[in-house]
Structure 1
Amino acid sequence: MKNFKIIVSIVILLTATSCEKNFLDRAPGVALSEEKVFSDPVLASQFANNAYNFLVDDYARFNNHRGTTSQASDEAVSGNTDVSIRTLNQGLFHDHYERGGSALNDIGGIWERAYAGIRITNVMLGKMSTVPWTPNQDPTRIEGEMKFIRAFLYFELIKRFGGVPIVDKALEITDNADLPRNTYQECVDFIVADLDQAITNLPPSYDNASYGRATSRAAMALKSRVLLYAASALHNTSNDLNKWKAAADAAKALMDLNAFTLHPTYSEIMNVAESPEYIMIKIRGPRAIDGMLLDFIMSPGSGGAQGSMNPTQNHVDMYEMQLTGKPITDATSGYNPANPYAGRDPRFYANILYNDAPWQGRRMQMWNNGNDFRENNIIYTATRYYCRKMWPEVYTRNTTARALFNYIFFRYAEVLLNYAEAQNEFLAAPDNTVYNAINTIRARVSMPNLPLGLTKAQMREAIRHERAVELAFEDFRWYDIMRWKIGVEVINKPVMGMNVVRNSNGSFTYNPIVLPSIYQRTFADYMHLYPIPRTEIFKSKGVLTQNPGWE
């Protein structure tokens, strides 16, 4: 007889002012038999709810909370060169999961977590017809949730590894578990089929008690993302325009519902309980200061143990001048290198903490021996920047104030960006719908519209720039670089920081600098896909094949 660990759900109403909790808040697990679980509709629905716990649902997840994908990309560095990041930066991807610290790493950890969650969805889908459902449950919705979660977990796998084995049922102990990899396209087709079923089964929205569950609109957003990745260079080597059209159509279908708008204030996007922009978020209460905030995000100048989430100068330089809408490399942009932080895209001030920035009733001090920087001291920033987007201002060591910091699965700005990219790639030249999607995002922060008459290639660069700025530090940039297949070009560029000198008269002198070699990266073309964990290759007795370059 089989036993399952049942996670008991507690439903607590969500309000904007209370301590947010949700249908996944967990009480202690109880070991119950399969017969007991699926003969009781309440236990069966709780078993299904447990599948949500296997989704990737936080940004700082490497080595407990000490690394993000931003630090693998050109967005940021790990100031203390945490092993989980250092192994990725050095191209030692096998070492990332074999000696990169505690879960959740981005290779072996994701592989195990995703397939564990997929098993739960497969078990639940296989038992749907045997559960004596009552009017208090909604089996159609539960089936849709399982299809959505299974699709989401398979997407997390294929965006990292390419084609993976498709397991569409719960394997018994006598079944052969040594399965070969399906092709990437087979996986995409399987995911899309699950999502189409989820779109049919799921409601468009929920009341507050179930806020955070998968909806038909979340399934549409995921479909948009899946098809965008499938159309991109890494897996669309022939540049099949039909794939771009499918991706554009998927995003447009969600846009045409007119169900979402951009949140009015960009700087609040991570920190509100509800937003007209949110399509699906991870519901959790205000963050405790211990862990990610105290031990990863916060400057020692505010009481942080180590502030190692440090944006790069490479990323900072992406923020255009607000008045002209031009990059700082343009001589007519209005940029002044002696006053580098004045007049920038307002998203810069929402995302980055820089020298002399107003913060917590003081100003950031990024010069040597200032409150926020000490030379050759790894608990301080390596770049002279901290990540404002991940650090709600209320958090200092000696305060009891708390704030929300959400993990956003899908927000409307991403859908607009997905549409603009796919539509631009499908057309011979960008049309008004492409401009409108990007200009809508820029208008929120009072940035000028894109100039008219851009070529397809120019618009491509504008869209990629807009994604880098709008979605900064939200777990997109690293995977965008991978799917665009531009890692060799982007990741191998010198990683830069800013040298800040405080002059005797109180003014500052700024000079961009190349960071020490420990922060520089190595990236080869084969690294656009992760290696399959070696333990999985060995267990399969040669049935599971390794990605090229990682043998």
Structure 2
Amino acid sequence: MMKNYKIYTAVVLLTLCFVSCKKDFLERTPGTPISEEEIFADPALAARFADNAYNYTITKYVRFNDHRGCVAQASDEAVSGNSEGTVTSLNRGLYHEHSTQASLNDIGDIWKRMYACIAINNKMLEKLPSIPPAPNATVLIFDPKRVEGEMRFLRAMSYFELTKRFGGVPIVDKVYGVNDDINLPRSSFEQVTALILSDLEIAINKLGEEGTYSAANYGRPTVGAAQALKARVLLYAASPLNNPANDKAKWKAAADAALVLMNGRYSLQATYGDILNVPSSPEYIMIRIKGNTPLSGEMMQDFSMSPGSGGAQGQMNPTQNHVDMYEMANGKAITDPTSGYDPTKPYVGREPRFYNNIIYNDLPWQGGKIEMWSTNGGAPYGKDWNPGNITYTATRYYCKKYWPEVYRTVGGSTTLLNYIYFRYAEVLLNYAEAQNEADYKVDDATVYKALDDIRKRAGIQLGANGHYGLKSAMTQSEMREAIRHERAIELAFEDHRWYDIMRWKIGATTIGVPMKGMDVIKNTNGTF
């Protein structure tokens, strides 16, 4: 498989370097192309050329085959009843096969897009010294220092997205000429990671801090974004998948990198339920702000919303496996006999993030109720479930994080659903995980605080031991499981869980087991 990708790279990269990176930009009018010389002789045109790299970054959660699937459906977070190849390959656990099953996917498409972005980065870095200074203007047209920082950051992020999926990949760090040998070998994971970290060190010294960008430039990478990516890269490099010898120094490097961001620049926003739906937040380190997007034809109506409540295809269906991970409001697991969990009332008394992320039967919703029930005789069914129609939920759940109650087709027509690259809660979780592995101590105050801060914001009750549902004096193994659990809940449906499962090497116990749903029967007296 990887040999085929190497050949693909050798054949295509030359085209990427000279054609694809100009595809959307170099046509002034049909038949009147802009030459390369014109572009890099004009700071304004050069800035536009550099900005074209952003067109190849990941910008949405539901990106497979024109919003028909997402990475969450490859993990234990969610499934779908849709019969399209994009979805069925994920449901069957054939993640890599899914690269050939749809026009847009998380394998072949990402491979092409990341190398296209890298091609622009390389060309811009090569030409940067020769671009003339911009004339004096009220608005800075071209800042070569910042542009270099952005190109280094985007190249690092592109290579990281590749290593997440493929491990080592061919390194392309310059523009190749027509006579150059571009039959590039596959570099090791360690070699690619070294390049990523080198680029990020330069980016950290070139990019601006939070608050130094105008509103029009909100969302561009900052120093904080480069530091957050560095922390994530080092965490992945230290994880069992890439660190089989469990080198403690790698974990320490990851912990130290996360700690740099824990200096007051960022903080957890007060509420969790709208984490994807605010235009700005003290928690955001870098996001792709969506702005007001039409409901129709986008992921909201065409992927997330129940057809019985104004949607077209309700394909984002959390599994019972995921639902059962949510603790009670007191922070105890539902399997704990002292938690207060009642299996006859499974949705009562759960921790607040359950209600922020999960839509379940009989939930009050947009002036009515969600109805995902059947009767003992089969039909009739609730309006939000139909076993004979693949556009309805396959598990009797919908995803509230992707379908907030404020978004409806009756009385509303636009949505705001940001793509988060980095937020502060992830930094805290990265630190807790790395610190616990690098230098475990009983009752490590810094590790407990990272988790307590997140769980306090979530609304979990404070326990008598001063922690938010966490046991005191956990062993290293117990703390490891607590941290992994916290990531699964806090970062649910945000493009983390699948990759966490891979880097922890826990697929056998998470995705190697049946994915379950809920069977909801409505009794003749109206109860369930």
Report the TM-score when normalising by structure 1.
Answer: 0.86
Which of 388, 391, 394 in structure 1 is aligned with 2:406? 394
Task: Say yes or no: does 1:441 pair with 2:454.
Answer: yes
Instruction: Render the CA deviation track for 1:462-488: whole Å, top value 9, x for unaligned.
Output: 000000000000010000001111112
Instruction: Render the CA deviation track for 1:289-341: whole Å, top value 9, x for unaligned.
Output: 1231222111011121210110000000010000x211001111100011100
Which of 197, 204, 207 in structure 2 is aligned with 1:202? 207
Query: Which residue does the alignment assign to 2:420?
Result: 408
Query: Which residue does the alignment assign to 2:163?
Result: 158
Structure 1 residue 7, shift from structure 2 partner: 5.4
Query: Which residue does the alignment assign to 2:501?
Result: 481
SS at match of 1:410: strand
Instruction: Render the CA deviation track for 1:37-75: whole Å, top value 9, x for unaligned.
Output: 000010001101111111111100011101011001000
Query: Which residue does the alignment assign to 1:39?
Result: 41
1:507 and 1:193 map into 2 onto residues whose CA distance is: 61
Task: Say yes or no: does 1:279 pair with 2:272.
Answer: no
Query: Which residue does the alignment assign to 1:175?
Result: 180
Query: Which residue does the alignment assign to 2:436?
Result: 424
Instruction: Render the CA deviation track for 1:198-217: whole Å, top value 9, x for unaligned.
Output: 00000112221210111010
SS at match of 1:226: helix
Letter in 1 for 2:112: E
Task: Say yes or no: does 1:465 pair with 2:477.
Answer: no
Structure 1 stretch displaced more, 84-93 or 453-462: 84-93
CA contact (8 A) 1:314 1:495 kept: yes
CA contact (8 A) 1:318 1:469 kept: yes
Structure 1 stretch displaced more, 348-357 or 373-382: 373-382
Query: Which residue does the alignment assign to 2:302?
Result: 295
Change (3 A) 1:94 1:428: closer
Which of 207, 213, 228 in structure 1 is aligned with 2:235? 228
CA contact (8 A) 2:276 2:420 kept: yes
Give 1:188-337 correspondences, 5 Å limit: 188-205=193-210, 206-256=213-263, 258-289=264-295, 290-322=297-329, 324-337=330-343
Structure 1 residue 399, shift from structure 2 partner: 3.8
2:18 and 2:96 map into 1 onto residues whose CA distance is: 34
1:491 and 1:6 map into 2 onto residues whose CA distance is: 40
Query: Which residue does the alignment assign to 1:370?
Result: 382
Structure 1 residue 117, shift from structure 2 partner: 0.5
Structure 1 residue 507, shift from structure 2 partner: 1.2
Letter in 1 for 2:52: N
SS at match of 2:260: helix
Which of 92, 95, 112 in structure 1 is aligned with 2:94? 92
Query: Which residue does the alignment assign to 2:8?
Result: none
Query: Which residue does the alignment assign to 1:119?
Result: 119
Structure 1 residue 393, shift from structure 2 partner: 2.1
Change (3 A) 1:373 1:88: closer
SS at match of 1:267: coil
1:31 and 1:113 map into 2 onto residues whose CA distance is: 23
Letter in 1 for 2:131: V
SS at match of 1:497: coil
Query: Which residue does the alignment assign to 2:22?
Result: 5
SS at match of 2:221: coil
SS at match of 2:162: helix
1:244 and 1:81 map into 2 onto residues whose CA distance is: 42
Structure 1 stretch displaced more, 264-273 or 171-180: 171-180
CA contact (8 A) 2:74 2:95 kept: no
Letter in 2 for 1:262: L
1:89 and 1:410 map into 2 onto residues whose CA distance is: 28
SS at match of 1:409: strand
Structure 1 residue 148, shift from structure 2 partner: 0.1
Structure 1 stretch displaced more, 389-398 or 47-56: 389-398
Task: Say yes or no: does 1:138 pair with 2:143.
Answer: yes
CA contact (8 A) 1:195 1:220 kept: yes
Structure 1 residue 176, shift from structure 2 partner: 1.4
Structure 1 residue 197, shift from structure 2 partner: 0.5
Structure 1 residue 406, shift from structure 2 partner: 0.4
Structure 1 residue 6, shift from structure 2 partner: 7.0
Letter in 1 for 2:123: V
SS at match of 2:244: coil
2:179 and 2:346 map into 1 onto residues whose CA distance is: 65
Instruction: Render the CA deviation track for 1:166-222: whole Å, top value 9, x for unaligned.
Output: 111011222211101111111111101100100000011222121011101000000
Structure 1 residue 93, shift from structure 2 partner: 4.0
SS at match of 1:281: strand
Structure 1 residue 159, shift from structure 2 partner: 0.8
Change (3 A) 1:31 1:360: farther
CA contact (8 A) 1:6 1:46 kept: no
CA contact (8 A) 1:76 1:310 kept: yes
1:390 and 1:153 map into 2 onto residues whose CA distance is: 25
Query: Which residue does the alignment assign to 1:19?
Result: none
CA contact (8 A) 1:141 1:201 kept: yes
SS at match of 2:147: helix
CA contact (8 A) 2:308 2:384 kept: yes
Structure 2, unpaired ranges of 5+: 1-16, 375-380, 462-467
Letter in 2 for 1:412: Y
Query: Which residue does the alignment assign to 1:101?
Result: 102
Letter in 1 for 2:98: H
Structure 1 residue 84, shift from structure 2 partner: 1.1
Structure 1 residue 395, shift from structure 2 partner: 3.1
Structure 1, unpaired ranges of 5+: 10-25, 509-551
SS at match of 1:441: helix
Change (3 A) 1:356 1:58: same
SS at match of 2:480: helix
Structure 1 residue 403, shift from structure 2 partner: 2.7
Structure 1 residue 90, shift from structure 2 partner: 2.5
Size of the aligned set, in residue pairs, is 488
Task: Say yes or no: does 1:350 pair with 2:351.
Answer: no
SS at match of 1:254: coil
Change (3 A) 1:472 1:31: farther
| RMSD after superposition | 1.9
SS at match of 2:132: coil
Structure 1 residue 402, shift from structure 2 partner: 2.0
1:466 and 1:255 map into 2 onto residues whose CA distance is: 18
Instruction: Render the CA deviation track for 1:123-156: whole Å, top value 9, x for unaligned.
Output: 0000001100225321000000000000000000
